[in-house]
Structure 1
């Protein structure tokens, strides 16, 4: 392609210089599948240079057209802005400069290209850069396009000199700017809809690292950084072409198309590439800013040290021992001078554990030396290696940074080869905050706070690290994870008994939370099944702690005081079975005095009777107000059709979330005929305060006699709910849980949570003529996961065929909305 300096003055009349000629050439370039990635970005920048040089023509003496920012770097994506500076030395008349600017800017606007432009003298550009850090950053990438090369070269030299001279002031400002942006945009390597440019680990951070290097004060780890930047730019190019817009946000609905355009298997493969690139940039950012801080600190203390040492130019570096072969120096964990990683295969784990225990970062030099020289561990690992791994996992929050340092240099997958399948693996579930691998480390961090609650903290921490390791394989990740956990446990040196416990923990890591929130804990079969799966009180203790750590590490929607209380209740019941105490049949249990009183009053009045009281969490060890677990709502009403949907509808109208619901029939004392239906619900307010019992009762009376149109009222609320554009929730799924209970048929419902969902389900059950024995409602993010224990009219479980038909009917009703018809 013709260089800028070779463009003749007649280029303004050439077809390629005319807007239509440039537009056509640009379109052809963007449609060339064979030329993508860096070659296309460079070609697009060169094509644009040639066009703009043609528009500039002979220009005006003492003027130059300068590309800055991304265009200055030659990184033009299909919809990138053109960042241009019209530079002049101040000798030309203002009218000439204005005319030249019009000749440049208007054709750009006519083509609909985004333009960020300015007109300045070199002195003005330097002053603006001194006042605005973002302007200074853009000028660091200034590149000559047309005109007086000397004017551009002079500005570049001055801007770079200013940047280096002002680095002690500018770099802390740049770091603060990066941290503020990360706080707003989040971490690119964990977001399902990331901003490729602004999120932490994105293109902005990669550009910031270039600016740090230009200061000559510090430099970023270069290995893999250029490739990571290229991958992020390639994804952005494909995103621009797929959407036709200048967007940097990789939305869910665009990911499949972008993956296809990049010849990737699917959207998950795309996200994994993005996450890997972001992780490389983020780690380089952390290391670089630590080095900047170290250099700036050393500069500030060097004069004082020199004076203290009598004018000596070299101050001795302080080194404090941390562990065998590991010392602290200048705020980092480094290898001791006598350390020999080639002779000490445990040194990588020992150094990592020592760093995490001391709350220090592991120095880049140390990690790279370990990665290059350390011998592989024998199989099985020696006891010290296993102990150091447990120490690392139990160090709490500092474990995360140390683990990421090891992972950046490939040491984790060398120690645990199965880690490769979960590394940077996305989780397409709004409940999950992290990728699979980071979630596993976060679970270990959470488990480290629970090690005082279990007899074998080492098994808890390793189980936390491995519980989702099966997500890298097809099928049920718990089953796959059990196999992997056995292999890993044996490799790292656990004996057969401990290996079996770890395999059980991984296999059943969801058992307690699923059972507690979706099963009837009063059903003896429920408790016996859990006891049989767990096998021992010690394993139950570990599983309880793992359940809490897993949920806390998942995200804010996965754990609450309510879920904690349900799991604790289940654990108490299972522990009783494991120690020889069998659960009793709930139907044989005598009603409480309050339940009996409500039943009598409901029978005598012929209408519903309500009682509410707040349940509180046990007071913590430190003085604090106990947290409310919810409100227990007891309702007694003469048995009649339509009670469940009526109660559920009234609660929905009052914006009460149902957490659990149990139903049972009571026969009033004496010779009084008939039965009373007792509903024991635990509810909480979506927001605001709880309604008064009198208001609930009044609306329930109206719902039962038909004067309150619940269906219409809930439909109005549903219509008013804000909906996210372009996002269609997955259809509901209704299944029968086989062998879950000997007393009832268990129907599981998974659906998009919405006002009145339980009301619609209750109406469908009423229409099918089945009796709901108990209900267990749970909400995870936007998804409702409910389980219903149902029987036929005579109180027996449904035959398999009827149960399957009921599930299909309920699923159809929830899919089409006919449950409200």
Structure 2
């Protein structure tokens, strides 16, 4: 596809000079010339690669020139190798008609788009099958290419075979479509070209189009189905090189173009779009070349660690509020977005062309059904279109109106009109942004009852969204350089709006029953949608995005037409959109002070309802798997407790009433064993009865009674706990210092991640500790073998049968990619979050057995851990501990707190991990 001329070709490889060197080696070594010839070829390959690396370093974005240069290098080597083999290894002066051989470059090599470690895909065309001379030459050439360390994809076929296989196999049909003559029998190659067009292409255009689109959709699905995944595949991902290639393949197959430039002549692209196509292609090719050079292999996934290095190599610089890697990735996603826009317009053109051709030939030739008019727009075949080329120029408010009508009437927007909207988006100025009608239309679209997500995505593709809401334009393609967020900010926001719409329609009732009820109880649904739009609007500006976003909301909401009270509520929601998730996941919800503090910030039932809805869609829109039943349960508990407190002005029941009510509930659950409540009721204090859910208490009492009856010194029980999407691990043992950190170490060694822990001591000196555990992927352990492994590992750890420290240091971190991020350990002490405990929060990079190491420091510092709450945000872990000293008092500020902070920072840091791994 590349039409870039390669400058100073001989600096890459001088074929004549290399051929002369090989002739001299043959003359010198005769039959034993192969080893020195291979060495000469290797030197030429390495020299060419070094030259291309230098050129890329000098011009880091010169994707076409560099990819074309690598292809040129291989071309020349293949030609020299062919001449050496046919003249010196297997000379044949009088070839028969069957002894014809043509060498074709196919795949990326055929398009002259090679990265440093791309496969060399070659098709050998031969005059006839089982021709001894051709087979010998092909084999000798392949061995020489392999000796150079090249990864070669190859096929040897006669013309008849190639044509037959191309008819049956889409991969072969595509490979031959972009086949390029390299060397050998040119007449044979040209005959193949003619036959391919006549026998494979003609009459099969529509079938090729549908097969290619099917193939593309399957590829996208496999790789995340979004061009905004934060570790994109540059080659095969959505908006990547393969999508551009697909356009070219379809254009070449249907319109017989030989280069991307000819897509303009065929009317499939405008000149501006073609330049955009080349720009995106040049950038993506350059990124891929950098990745291959950095890794020394054919790497196409732009991982977090590579993002930093490629940004550096491509000369991106830090800016206030945005690091160089974030700026590089934002530019990357803008290119991917452009590829998406081009693809939509291009494919629609192709489909229209094919439909027109079919109509001309079909039974209804000449018949044209009349489109209907909707508010002046033409609607035909489920698509809405602008009636004239100057439609938006006459009234730029129509740039918003067309998207609102499309959502309300459930229509697609005609690609030609999408192209017009993208071209005319620049007409949106301050006058249009302040236009009352334009804002009313936008708000109607945002809160649409059908599919606002899809239509807002179209609006974003054209650039209209970012022009109409410039603050949204700033987060367009803005990535968040962490392992928690799977999408760019704009994509995350649009997904959140889509999830809100699905919740309102009842489509996510099973996962979000509470939000599904609440969305119909709030006094303003507009607030819910505008808050979803604005919650991350100020990311990438430096400073706290919640505070900055709240200010943006105060400006934008009146413009959109929201009332003063709606504006105040949206601004509060944006400011506090992380409050509910942080409280639920990082605080002890059974501690009355947690609820009091939360309620004092929320202050009203209306705010609480909206915050619960926004929190659900925000977490779920982060990416697949971030929402789970565990988070749902925690948020539900927080909502119910705070709702009760807000409605009644106090907690419905005091401590005694709560304990009595729980005992009654547990007795009901135990049925025949209800007597255990009476028998063991006073063995555990009120704190236990308040802290644990009734179903866990019921399990605990049966387990505790059995352990005491059997006089077990240690009893460990594991079972799948469906209500929380986790595995419940209960340990009953004689209480002694260090028990908690040892149990945590045993669980870590068995491959478990602890997400919550509650530590209790009976009045008779027995510890009863409950842990909720998941595997490294956030799923529960269910298999009998897995559960037994956890039990055995805990037993071994408590009996000192294993040395925990070195064993834990050897365990690999599930997310080894986290090393690409800088996460400085941070320790926070809070004596106000609880009336009874000091709350210690440790923020650190996630690593093997972090909880075990932190818990050990607390034990060695003579502190008692009463509960622990563990939260993960991708590469970052936040472990929260509720502690007292040995006398039951809080840890006061001063020297002891400072020493503890220093030890916790060391335990969470990289230096200690390195020392442990060395040991």
What's the TM-score bracket when you normalise by the shorter of the two chains?
Answer: 0.7 to 0.9
Relative to 1, partners in 2 of residues 1:210 and 1:797: Cα closer, same or farther, differing over 3 Å?
A: same
Matches of 2:758 and 2:696, distance apart in 1:
17
SS in 2 for 1:469: coil
Relative to 1, partners in 2 of residues 1:402 and 1:55: Cα closer, same or farther, differing over 3 Å?
A: same
Matches of 1:80 and 1:698, distance apart in 2:
48
Relative to 1, partners in 2 of residues 1:655 and 1:19: Cα closer, same or farther, differing over 3 Å?
A: closer
| CA offset digits 1:62-95 (Å, max 9, x no partner) | 65433333222222322233333344555x9945
Matches of 1:769 and 1:585, distance apart in 2:
35
Relative to 1, partners in 2 of residues 1:436 and 1:53: Cα closer, same or farther, differing over 3 Å?
A: same
Shift of 1:581: 1.1
Which of 29, 41, 55 aligns to 1:19? It is: 41
Shift of 1:338: 11
Q: Does 2:341 align with 1:280? A: no
Contact between 2:868 and 2:881, CA under 8 Å: does it hold in 1?
A: yes
Relative to 1, partners in 2 of residues 1:566 and 1:441: Cα closer, same or farther, differing over 3 Å?
A: same
Contact between 1:68 and 1:141, CA under 8 Å: does it hold in 2?
A: yes
Matches of 1:654 and 1:148, distance apart in 2:
64
Matches of 1:657 and 1:56, distance apart in 2:
59
Matches of 1:695 and 1:102, distance apart in 2:
54
Superposition pairs of residues 358-369 of structure 1, within 5 angstroms: 358-369=409-420
Relative to 1, partners in 2 of residues 1:63 and 1:175: Cα closer, same or farther, differing over 3 Å?
A: same
Aligned residue number for residue 174 of structure 2:
137
Shift of 1:111: 2.4
Aligned residue number for residue 505 of structure 1:
573
Matches of 1:778 and 1:227, distance apart in 2:
42
| CA offset digits 1:592-638 (Å, max 9, x no partner) | 447785353479xxxxxx9983599xxxxxxxxx9624788999999
Q: Does 2:620 align with 1:546? A: no
Q: Does 2:152 align with 1:115? A: yes
Aligned residue number for residue 294 of structure 2:
242
Which of 165, 174, 189 aligns to 1:128? It is: 165
| Most deviating of 497-506 and 60-69 | 60-69
Aligned residue number for residue 770 of structure 1:
863
The two structures, once aligned, show a CA RMSD in angstroms of 4.6
Q: Does 2:245 align with 1:207? A: yes
Aligned residue number for residue 209 of structure 2:
171
Q: Does 2:680 align with 1:598? A: yes
Matches of 1:770 and 1:748, distance apart in 2:
15
Aligned residue number for residue 806 of structure 1:
900
Matches of 2:295 and 2:751, distance apart in 1:
40
Which of 14, 30, 37 aligns to 2:53? It is: 30
Contact between 2:757 and 2:868, CA under 8 Å: does it hold in 1?
A: yes
SS in 2 for 1:777: strand
Superposition pairs of residues 244-643 of structure 1, within 5 angstroms: 244-265=296-317, 266-292=324-350, 306=364, 313-319=366-372, 321=374, 324-336=375-387, 340-373=391-424, 375-376=428-429, 378=431, 381-395=434-448, 398-448=451-501, 449-450=503-504, 451-579=519-647, 581-583=649-651, 591-592=659-660, 593=663, 598=680, 600-601=682-683, 613=695, 628-629=723-724, 641-642=737-738
| CA offset digits 1:258-316 (Å, max 9, x no partner) | 2222222333333333322222223433444455555556666776661xxxxx51322
| Most deviating of 192-201 and 330-339 | 330-339
Shift of 1:518: 1.2
| Most deviating of 74-83 and 758-767 | 758-767
Shift of 1:38: 2.0
| Most deviating of 715-724 and 171-180 | 715-724
Contact between 1:68 and 1:139, CA under 8 Å: does it hold in 2?
A: yes
Q: Does 2:41 align with 1:40? A: no
Which of 787, 799, 802 aligns to 1:708? It is: 799
State the TM-score, normalizing by the size of structure 1. 0.82
Shift of 1:241: 1.9
Aligned residue number for residue 787 of structure 1:
880
Contact between 2:644 and 2:650, CA under 8 Å: does it hold in 1?
A: yes
Matches of 2:625 and 2:576, distance apart in 1:
21
| Most deviating of 215-224 and 445-454 | 215-224
Shift of 1:546: 0.4
Matches of 1:289 and 1:751, distance apart in 2:
48
SS in 1 for 2:607: helix
Matches of 2:786 and 2:43, distance apart in 1:
74
Aligned residue number for residue 622 of structure 1:
none
Aligned residue number for residue 744 of structure 1:
837
Shift of 1:509: 0.4
| CA offset digits 1:717-774 (Å, max 9, x no partner) | 7756675667648575432247434543211123566786545544432322223344
Aligned residue number for residue 619 of structure 1:
none
Shift of 1:808: 2.6
Which of 189, 197, 208 aligns to 1:152? It is: 189
Aligned residue number for residue 122 of structure 2:
84
Query: Unaligned regions of 5+ residues in structure 1, if any?
Result: 307-311, 604-609, 617-625, 669-673
Query: Unaligned regions of 5+ residues in structure 2, if any?
Result: 1-6, 24-39, 88-94, 256-265, 318-323, 505-518, 667-676, 686-691, 699-720
Shift of 1:415: 0.8
State the TM-score, normalizing by the size of structure 2. 0.74
Aligned residue number for residue 183 of structure 1:
221
Shift of 1:443: 0.7
Matches of 1:51 and 1:754, distance apart in 2:
48
Contact between 1:433 and 1:555, CA under 8 Å: does it hold in 2?
A: yes
Shift of 1:458: 0.9
SS in 2 for 1:165: coil
Shift of 1:689: 6.6
SS in 2 for 1:216: helix
Shift of 1:167: 1.2
| CA offset digits 1:307-340 (Å, max 9, x no partner) | xxxxx5132244363xx34453223232356994
Matches of 1:477 and 1:537, distance apart in 2:
25
Shift of 1:498: 2.6
Shift of 1:402: 2.7
Matches of 2:148 and 2:734, distance apart in 1:
75
Shift of 1:213: 0.9
Relative to 1, partners in 2 of residues 1:637 and 1:596: Cα closer, same or farther, differing over 3 Å?
A: farther
Relative to 1, partners in 2 of residues 1:210 and 1:108: Cα closer, same or farther, differing over 3 Å?
A: same
Matches of 2:844 and 2:450, distance apart in 1:
35
Matches of 2:159 and 2:793, distance apart in 1:
76
| CA offset digits 1:234-279 (Å, max 9, x no partner) | 1111122222223323333333322222222333333333322222
SS in 2 for 1:279: helix
Matches of 2:583 and 2:458, distance apart in 1:
38
Shift of 1:447: 1.5
Aligned residue number for residue 621 of structure 1:
none
SS in 2 for 1:190: coil
Shift of 1:502: 1.6
| Most deviating of 809-818 and 409-418 | 809-818
Contact between 1:325 and 1:339, CA under 8 Å: does it hold in 2?
A: no
Contact between 1:221 and 1:288, CA under 8 Å: does it hold in 2?
A: yes
Matches of 1:513 and 1:277, distance apart in 2:
34
Shift of 1:677: 7.6
Aligned residues between the structures: 787
SS in 1 for 2:682: helix
Matches of 1:541 and 1:531, distance apart in 2:
12
Matches of 1:698 and 1:721, distance apart in 2:
20
Matches of 2:858 and 2:73, distance apart in 1:
68
